[in-house]
Amino acid sequence: MTSDAAAPSDFKSALLKEIPKLRFFALSLAGQQDRADDLVQEALIKAWAAQDRFTPGTSLRAWLFTILRNVFYSEYRKRRREVPDTDGEEAARLFSNPEQNGHLDLGDLKAALATLPEDQREALLLVGAAGVSYEEAAQVCGCAVGTIKSRVNRARKRLLALLGVDSASEFGGDYLAVNGASAPLELA
């Protein structure tokens, strides 16, 4: 069927004639009457807004069906990414700690590391930050494995005291879990 919509009133009449067929097509896509009606309404709004782009003498029905189909697929893609949350439980579970705490913690750690004796700092950074084994750290430092273990232990205890931390869970909190606690520590 070709519709020739020369004037806005003719375009409006032609749109109104196509509504039953649009509803049937929308129902076949959506499967629910209320969703189908919403699709038809959205398609009609888009068609009305874009009526200057309709080429008179071409099929208005095909143009409207294309608009409706595009609206359906756009909403489908959007709904696929959405999580139904009618009672707000999902939104209530969303929480992230402010990131500046991690930045401040890192600054405190850098300052505390700078106060450690050089041999302890070197052992701690090799084992704790660079992920080097105790044996490899002992080779790098030119000392026994037990000495490296002792230096690392003393450095950790000293850092905890300097930072005022009673346990490792108090330092960094969720920030380290979210941003990768296993990543090597970068000190600038």
**pTM of the predicted structure, to 2 decimals:** 0.43
Angle between helices 33-49 and 60-81 (to 10 degrees): 120
Per-residue pLDDT for 102 more than 60?
Answer: yes
Residue 160 neighbours by CB under 8 Å, 6+ apart: 166
Q: Is the pLDDT of residue 70 over 50?
A: yes
Report how far residue 156's alpha carbon sits from residue 154's, in angstroms, rounded to the nearest whole number: 5
Of 170, 180, 26, 188, nearest in space to 101 by CA:
170
Mean pLDDT, residues 54-68 taken together: 91
pLDDT for the residue 170: 61
Cβ–Cβ < 8 Å for 42, 71: yes
C-beta of residue 66 within 8 angstroms of C-beta of residue 43: no
pLDDT for residue 7 is more than 70: no
Mean pLDDT of the chain: 82
Q: CB neighbours of 110 closer than 8 A, spacing ≥ 6?
A: 187, 188
d(CA 114, CA 133): 22
Q: How big is the chain, counted in residues? A: 188
For tokens 């208005």, name the residue: 60
> What does the pLDDT read at residue 172?
54
DSSP structure class, residue 6: -
Domains of the chain: 9-164 (1.20.140.160)
pLDDT of residue 57: 86
What mean pLDDT is predicted for residues 88-107? 75
More confident residue, 147 or 31: 147
Tell me the mean pLDDT in the region 157-185.
Answer: 62
pLDDT tens digits, one per residue of 71-80: 999 988 887 7
| Helical packing angle, 60-81 and 8-30, nearest 10° | 50
Q: And the tokens for 151? A: 């230096």
Say what the pLDDT of residue 98 is: 67
